[in-house]
A and B are shown apart, each in its own frame.
Chain A
Amino acid sequence: KNEVEQSPQNLTAQEGEFITINCSYSVGISALHWLQQHPGGGIVSLFMLSSGKKKHGRLIATINIQEKHSSLHITASHPRDSAVYICAVRDFGNEKLTFGTGTRLTIIP
């Protein structure tokens, strides 16, 4: 069973700061997903990646397969980025996700 750990659990930062959230996992995977859960509960899929780096607007996700580690970066953070960010991994040959416990991000104006 894959173990997924995220750090930090909670992060508070000032508007404009560069944010990094980390995710590590224990067993090789076919892909890693980053999700965003808004305070109202809605979940949005941000990235799905199996190698390298992806960028969407101010968000950047990277993965190092050898080190079993991924990072989610937010540049020029804004209060609307306040949410819980969840890392999830998908093992080879199936559609099942194993989730981390999430990182609660609060951006102060």
Chain B
Amino acid sequence: GAGVSQSPSNKVTEKGKDVELRCDPISGHTALYWYRQSLGQGLEFLIYFQGNSAPDKSGLPSDRFSAERTGGSVSTLTIQRTQQEDSAVYLCASSPIGMRFYEQYFGPGTRLTVT
């Protein structure tokens, strides 16, 4: 079946502009995760959704970052007033229920470049 998809695959934006990154999880997966991988740095957790709720937003780096999930499916990560330090690969993953019971499946990522 189809895996996790993300769009766009690449996004170049000017500093100060807003961007929206989209994640389509595997159908039926209730858990959804956003991560960020900056150049030369490791992966970092951003936010976790269970259904449409976000029980853990602790990784969002500032209030310029927000995310929502609708219909228990598609999720959008929004970055307002982008800064150069926001340049990174943003990865989405989904899991059938959650990682306590199942592994997670990663999407291909969106490479964001802020100029």
Report which A residues bind B (CB closer than 8 A): 30-31, 33, 41-45, 48, 86, 88, 90, 94-102
Contacts and interface: CB of A to CB of B under 8 A. Distances in A.
Interface of B is mostly: strand
28 contacts: A31-B99, A31-B100, A33-B99, A33-B103, A41-B108, A43-B106, A44-B106, A45-B103, A45-B104, A45-B106, A48-B99, A48-B103, A88-B43, A90-B99, A94-B48, A95-B31, A95-B50, A95-B55, A95-B56, A95-B99, A96-B59, A97-B33, A97-B35, A97-B43, A97-B45, A99-B43, A99-B45, A100-B42
Contacts of A96: 45, 48, 56, 58-59
Interface of B: 31, 33, 35, 41-45, 48, 50, 55-56, 58-59, 89, 91, 93, 98-100, 103-106, 108-109
Contacts of A94: 48, 56
A11 B93 CA distance: 27
Contact of B33 (A41, A95, A101): A95
